[in-house]
């Protein structure tokens, strides 16, 4: 596998090895020891799967406390996947990175705890999977406004399909910084 650093430290792009022939292909989608050696700490304690239609935007979400590191990929279709650094004190606070994940490219993205995460479906539909390093705690969830002008994410859809929760999310500058995870130097 190949691991590539994104423009945000600790957000990693993973290109797994794909072994294919006329019958199809094989991909090792996770191997604890190899991923840990590549800087993806785990352990992962919950797996999630979502099916979404074109132009569905899910996010931007995070948990604090009970921060979740996420290893995400697409099993069917294609999405534009985004991570935003929301750790006060971080030199990258409010910055984002986005990549295309698809069943075709088989890439993965690792988003550490302390980053908001979201994706927008660019194909007819997408089957999206993610491993989480912490269980879901609804009382700890924070939703960040998907089109926060201070962050400036360039989404592939100007009028995405949103949940009510995501429509009512706040811009980053209106979220009490005491609710956000702190940046810690290594």
- For the annotated catalytic residues, the residue numbers are 61, 130
Polymer length in residues for the chain: 186
Residue 29 CB neighbours (<10 A)? 14
Provide CB contacts within 8 A for 78, sequence distance 6+. 100, 101, 102, 103, 104, 121, 122, 123, 126
């Amino acid at each position: 596998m190949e691991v590539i650093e994104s423009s945000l430290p600790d957000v990693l792009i993973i290109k797994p090895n794909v072994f294919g022939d006329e019958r199809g292909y094989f991909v090792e989608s996770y191997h604890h020891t190899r991923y840990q050696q590549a800087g993806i700490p785990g352990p992962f304690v919950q797996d999630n799967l979502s099916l979404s239609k074109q132009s569905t935007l899910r996010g931007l979400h995070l948990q604090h406390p009970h921060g979740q590191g996420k290893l995400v990929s697409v099993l069917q279709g294609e999405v534009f996947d985004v991570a935003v650094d929301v750790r006060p004190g971080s030199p990258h606070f409010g910055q984002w990175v986005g990549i295309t994940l698809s069943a075709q490219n088989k890439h993965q993205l690792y988003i550490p705890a302390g980053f908001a995460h979201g994706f927008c479906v660019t194909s007819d539909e997408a089957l999206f999977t993610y491993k989480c390093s912490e269980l879901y705690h609804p009382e700890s969830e924070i939703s960040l406004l998907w089109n926060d002008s201070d962050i400036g994410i360039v989404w592939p859809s100007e009028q995405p399909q949103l949940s009510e929760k995501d429509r009512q999310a706040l811009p980053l500058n209106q979220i009490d910084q005491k609710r956000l995870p702190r940046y810690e130097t290594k």
